[in-house]
Structure 1
């Protein structure tokens, strides 16, 4: 059930009717002032009609679910999504707007009218930084929370918003399993899409940006795909078995920096940072790979096909 209902403030018609009565009161439309001049009583402005709110109705006991992001978390996997919930435990309908924003790619913005015991669940699939804002339409009260990559592991976790004390109440919880780094199996791959798909032309192709382990031993890496403002669009700690790969397809022509770190047996950290510029998005298929090396370091390489893209030079770029 996802019917939409137009909600408007009650009493608007009554206010307009009362305004008409006040304007017509008296012996006539015009009264004389002390000098005998005719004047007109000022008519009060009618009460402004509020804009109707287009809302998705959620019936008693109903549960609606929306998904944000394309993998890698799944409800039955070792890496689980983080859930954002709207819950109405009261006896009165609750109308609320939810805005889930992320650094790269579409989030979720919608207004819901929840009956008693109704629930809306938004499943966040990509470990990243999110801003969650819920606004009570009636009172204009607002609550804001943040979610980060650390909130995504083997536990089921959620952030819940509900009406309370004339505002919006926030609560959260998680199961308590001990979780190690998410493991990508040998010769396996995890790939997510980052961006809103707004590439400059139909011929412009996404750019791939990945971390790969070509060594003979499993390695644990920490990585983050960051925007120029430092927001994490995808990140976490992963254990990469030999041949495993974790990466992203950048579907929006903008600057993104991949930061990777690994530690040796002594706990010493080695880091690498690779930035993809907007100029690297064109008609060529291209990708940047950060490979782990046997000596505990990294090797970064960017490859591209040879297509001539009009205002750009032909290229077969390979940089280390």
Structure 2
């Protein structure tokens, strides 16, 4: 049984909103539960020298009633850059008796967590998906022949606090849900661009601006996929070290993503192909924002690599007409 709930967070800060969401799904235990948890349950699968298969075959990890076991998947790249937050996964036991569910998480088809837990009443397992990717979460209760699957896509990694929960109910069944705050994520775009189509986005547009600088002193960013394969690109843009734009574009063959910078500034651009981890960096200086036409172009190839370059016309601009 699967349901999706969205909670509005108008008028409250993100910390409060996140807490509200997690409380709704029983995904966060009482603050005191951390000190009560089994020390063995605090390790991550990456730190465990045993193979995933060995972990799955061994005795389940015990989580006492009311306690929480934590797991981390990924390198915490979302904490270091961009405008997106990790997605949380919670496996909880809402029944009054102990249950032993198994949890398997796959990342792009590769198993990254496979572990069984002996959960006391109100015990939980919290897993942080700390990198932007696509995940499949599957929980099973072998003795009861119960299974529940939740998928986590790129679009669920945004500025909101999102938790995917699979819970053991009193009757021994499994129930899944995805709960998220509902904040407008300015500068966050996640979309698929169909074959030979173009998607355009403007960053830093000034409503009502009509002067010459606003109209002409702009810089374009173009990411194009000329190959016969679909690629997913992650475009990060910082202005003076502050995240400004965070776009995930799935580019079908011939598709193009266009981003127009409407305000002069010092920008840092990173373009990554998620399937290959290929990354290229470019600095876009304020000198590009003048009467000339300038564009930073990224083109993908059949191996998932990127060729990145900035080009500009070379007209002489009237003094004082454009500011840097």
**TM-score calculated relative to the size of structure 1:** 0.48
Structure richer in helix, relative to its length: 2
Higher Rg: 1
Could you say which structure has the greater relative contact order, defined with CA pairs below 8 angstroms and 6 or more residues apart? 2
**TM-score calculated relative to the size of structure 2:** 0.47
